[in-house]
Amino acid sequence: MTVQLIYQDLTKGKKLDILLIYQFQMEGLQMWRGVFPAVTTKFKTDGELDHAEMERCFGLQMEAGVDGIIVCGSLGEAMTLEPSEKIEILKLARSVAGGKPVLMTICESATRRAGSRARDAAAAGADGFMVLPGVPYKSAPHETLMHLRAVAEAGDRPVMVYNNPVAYGVDVTLDMFEELAGDKRFVAMKESTDDIRRITDVFSRFGDRFDVFTGVDNLAMESLVMGAHGWVAGLVVAFPKETVAIHRLVLAGRLDEAREIYRWFRPLLDLDVSTNLVQNIKLAEAIAIKSNDRVRGPRMPLQGAERARVSGIVEKALASRPTLPLDLPASAAA
């Protein structure tokens, strides 16, 4: 829960915005819940940002009922973006989000630079951050903790720690989260391990101290059934309504209905677990929501047999798209 107060500083004659973050754990109120798409970044044919197409695509997410947006992550091709472009994307997402949280991904190899990016994003209105360790360096636990704390201190906004040891070789372990638990800015974790047991281990150790998000599309329902509060999703950018439906049905205990959609969705979700996840998902967007699959180098759009394979998966899914329940439960984040 966030409360924003604006007051007049009579000594300096300036209006200051103070963002106060409260976590009422005793009352069961949490910071973030639900489906948070890790959105793609759209480019024009000349490689510049396509603001109009991003606005349209972000709007489709909001219309489907997602609960927040995460910009400039790995799916958003963060490593190809200039700092100023990231701020442009953040501001655009905020203009579309209707007051729902917009998180900036902080993924920098240097702690000092990560802190600077967090400060800039906070000044531009980010509601929080999804923070990675200082990849590609495989930091020791004490180094990882230093990096995470420095970013949280610099940005002074709520933080979701992105834990993906499979991709980045650094595991933010439960012992490390124990050390972070005393800092209220660390409110959530995105668990992208391939071990479904981690979800239960987190709750057994921390209860509801952290909001737990699953970050692996083809482990999402399994994680939600085991208690995860939310889903940082990839294929949601092409299939937002189905993603939202699965999350809400699971939380409402309507598992048979959720399972039917999830089984249909599974071949698509597998496209997220790939070296070519960006190209895969952008091609799915091109087919499913009439967007495009333009990427920035060194990536190139899929070609030949691989393009045909991925296109076939998407086309088959569209041809057998399930009818979603008309009585979907309300969002848990409402």
Delimit the domains of the chain by residue range. Answer: 30-319
Q: Write down the architecture of domain 30-319 according to CATH.
A: Alpha-Beta Barrel (3.20)
* Three-state helix/strand/coil letters over 177-197: HHHHCCCCCEEEEEECCCCCH
Share of the chain above pLDDT 70, in %: 91
Alpha-carbon span 209 to 203, nearest angstrom: 9
pLDDT, position 30: 57
What are the two backbone dihedrals, phi and then psi, of residue 295, each rounded to the nearest 5 degrees? -130, 170
190 is known as an active-site residue: yes
> For 233-264, how does the pLDDT look when each residue is reduced to its tens digit (9 = 90+)?
999 999 999 999 999 999 999 999 999 999 99
pLDDT, position 119: 98
241 is known as an active-site residue: no
Q: What six digits make up the tokens of 5?
A: 């107060």
Residue type, 212: V
pLDDT, position 46: 98
The DSSP symbol for 273 reads S
- Residue 289 three-state SS: coil
The catalytic residue among 162, 168, 262, 282 is 162
Q: Which residue has the tokens 């309504």?
A: 241
Mean pLDDT of the chain: 92
> For 220-240, how does the pLDDT look when each residue is reduced to its tens digit (9 = 90+)?
999 999 999 999 999 999 999
- Residue 73 three-state SS: coil
Q: What is the mean pLDDT of residues 307-319?
A: 99
Ranges 20-24, 248-252, 274-278: which has the least confidence: 20-24
Alpha-carbon span 93 to 104, nearest angstrom: 10
Q: What is the mean pLDDT of residues 96-120?
A: 98
Tell whether residue 237 is among the known ligand binding residues. no
The catalytic residue among 42, 100, 190, 282 is 190
> For 28-84, how does the pLDDT look when each residue is reduced to its tens digit (9 = 90+)?
345 899 999 999 999 999 999 999 999 999 999 999 999 999 999 999 999 999 999
**Top-confidence residue, 332 or 111:** 111
